[in-house]
Structure 1
Amino acid sequence: MVPRRFKPAGGAGGLIRLPPKPQEGAAMGLDEIAEKMRERLAGRSLDGSVKFDCGAEGALLLSGTEISVGDGDADCTIALSRDDLEALISGDLDPTSAFMQGKLRVDGDMALAMQLSQVI
């Protein structure tokens, strides 16, 4: 007995295009990183202001209990890639190790940067 072949209806050989699946571990944008920071800072405050400078990808400004996406003056500026900022906020990157490996650079109030490592 010869098996019957199923011929799907529709054009393009019956192929159905599905929307792409979201990639696991897809990179977060600065807005999503800021939201994660808000969650981690809930009920805590920072004595000063810190800017996370991600170069061309933008910046986050943390002042007291407020977090905003954008550039501005700060007591301490931490320069790092957006990927490293994401890893730092998610707990996958230790701030001290990142500093020692040159993944982040601190300009300004180093004591404030050290306080920040205890807060986030």
Structure 2
Amino acid sequence: MDLFTKLEQYIDYNNSYSLKKALTTLNREFDLAISRNDSMQAKTVIDATKKLYDKLSRTYRESEDYSETMSYYQKLIAKQMRSFIAYMLQKLKIEFGVPDYEQEIEQTIGI
């Protein structure tokens, strides 16, 4: 089971505790990868975070299709996810120097 599949359930609950737990888990996995000098695992964590961000964004867009506006909480979570991805990309660049991967992710999420 990959990291995204494990954490996807937290998004499905769509409450602050679940999302915070998912981000905490991702942060722990990312820090572990950095401490082990494992750039592939670090990229896997970033990919999982990006997939979670995409799923959240899609869920929020679907709710807007039903004439619901994005709540303050949803905007805050989306902003935190973007900030977290930017932090991980910066750390990855510092530790391993992978600018091409960074640019690809930045363009995808619009940081």
Give TM class, smaller chain.
under 0.3
> Which has a greater percent of strand?
1
> Which has a greater percent of helix?
2
TM-score (normalizing by structure 2)? 0.24
TM-score (normalizing by structure 1)? 0.22
